Amino acid sequence: MGKRDDLIEKYAADIKEKLGQTPDMDLLTKVTIGCGPSIYNDDASTVASSDQEELDRIRQSYLMKKLGLPDGPALMDGINAVIDAYGRSNRTKYRAVVYYLLCRHFNKEAVYS
């Protein structure tokens, strides 16, 4: 297995352990690939949920650009719901997992099909 496959397995384990969900491995793989090289960078591979600028970037770059969602308060509500589910006190929130959860939260799985 390659490094990306190892990371996908780590993300799947995170979803099972921290969220108690069985991940859709196909979707998780596609979301992880969509994150590009950021998954290999320690800083970029995680989300700083206490950094409002970071959350705004996720709203603009991922939710609006990638998923095609219209801007509005529902986007930040969705981000906060995902962060709460993942655990605000959890220091390591993987970007691929957050994006996967947002994709599922907004029912935008079709973007990756």
What digits encode the pLDDT tens for the residues 14-37? 999 999 999 999 999 999 999 999
Note the pTM of the prediction, 2 decimals: 0.96
Altogether, the residues listed in the chain come to a count of 113
Cα–Cα distance, 67 to 40 (Å, whole number): 23
pLDDT digits (tens, 9 = 90+) for 73-95: 999 999 999 999 999 888 899 99
Tell me: pLDDT of 1 over 80. Answer: no
pLDDT, the chain, mean: 96
Mean pLDDT calculated for residue range 52-58: 96
